[in-house]
């Protein structure tokens, strides 16, 4: 199955929208990290921070770091898909392992997909 012009236009739009979504989310993490650094540098209150609060803050920072890492990986996948879309047109929408077409329905959900759900087909 070859993608129609309309399907390709739709997938290009989806890739660009997803890229913008991920960039916005990563920007929020950058802003939050900057705020935390400023707060930590300026926090010289007379009251010590409770150990449980420090643990919660550390846990939250670790979760944020994991999510930022996941988003960075997703951005790399989207950029690779855009590269295939524009410069390796024959490889976009094809399973990297088998060369079989990836169904449009799958690409519509995950436009940067590299493989089919069922590699045996």
Cβ neighbours for 112, distance < 8 A, ≥ 6 positions apart: 15, 18, 74, 77, 78, 80, 81
**Mean pLDDT per 10-residue interval, the chain, length 121 residues:** 91 98 91 63 60 75 88 97 94 94 97 86 56
pLDDT score, position 64: 81
pLDDT score, position 118: 77
pLDDT score, position 2: 84
Of the candidates 2, 36, 8, the one whose C-alpha atom is nearest the C-alpha of residue 108 is: 8
User: In whole angstroms, what is the distance from residue 13 CA to residue 99 CA?
Assistant: 24
Residues 90 and 102 sit within 8 Å (Cβ to Cβ): no
Cβ neighbours for 80, distance < 8 A, ≥ 6 positions apart: 112
């Amino acid at each position: 199955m070859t993608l129609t012009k309309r399907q390709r236009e739709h997938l290009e739009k989806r890739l660009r929208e997803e890229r913008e979504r991920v960039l916005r989310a990563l920007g929020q993490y950058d802003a939050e990290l900057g705020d935390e650094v400023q707060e930590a540098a300026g926090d010289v209150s007379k009251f010590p921070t409770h150990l449980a609060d420090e643990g919660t803050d550390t846990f939250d920072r670790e979760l944020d770091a994991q999510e930022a890492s996941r988003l960075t990986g997703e951005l790399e996948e989207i950029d690779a898909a855009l590269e295939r879309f524009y410069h390796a047109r024959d490889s976009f929408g094809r399973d990297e392992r088998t060369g079989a077409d990836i169904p449009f329905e799958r690409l519509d959900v995950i436009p940067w997909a590299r493989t089919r759900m069922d590699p045996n087909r």
